[in-house]
Amino acid sequence: MAIQKIDIKETIIAGVQYGMQNILNLILMVLLYIVTVWIPYLNVGTTIGLYKAIIKIGRGETFKPTDIFDKENFNNLGDFFLLLGFLCMGIYVAAIFMFIPAIVIGIAWQFAIYFFIDKGLSPTKCLKVSYKATYGEKWRIFFIYLILYIVICIVCGVLALIPKVGGILAVLAVICCAAIVVAIEGVMYKHFSDKADEIFADKIGCCCKEAPEAPAAPEVPAE
pLDDT digits (tens, 9 = 90+) for 125-160: 999 999 999 999 999 999 999 999 999 999 999 998
pTM of the model: 0.85
Considering the domain boundaries, does residue 221 fall inside one? no
> Concatenated DSSP letters for 67-129?
GGG-GGGGTTHHHHHHHHHHHHHHHHHHHTTTSHHHHHHHHHTTTHHHHHHHH---HHHHHHH
Give the pLDDT confidence score for residue 99 in this predicted structure: 85
pLDDT digits (tens, 9 = 90+) for 10-26: 999 999 999 999 999 99
Considering the domain boundaries, does residue 58 fall inside one? yes
Please give the residue range of the domain that contains residue 105: 9-200
> What is the total count of domains within the chain?
1
Considering the domain boundaries, does residue 4 fall inside one? no
Considering the domain boundaries, does residue 205 fall inside one? no
Give the pLDDT confidence score for residue 154 in this predicted structure: 94
Buried b (16+ CB within 10 A) or exposed e, 79-102: ebeebbebbeebbeebeeeeeeeb
Considering the domain boundaries, does residue 1 fall inside one? no
Considering the domain boundaries, does residue 213 fall inside one? no
Considering the domain boundaries, does residue 216 fall inside one? no
Q: Tell me the C-alpha distance between 68 and 66, whole Å.
A: 5
Considering the domain boundaries, does residue 78 fall inside one? yes
Average pLDDT over the chain, rounded to an integer: 87
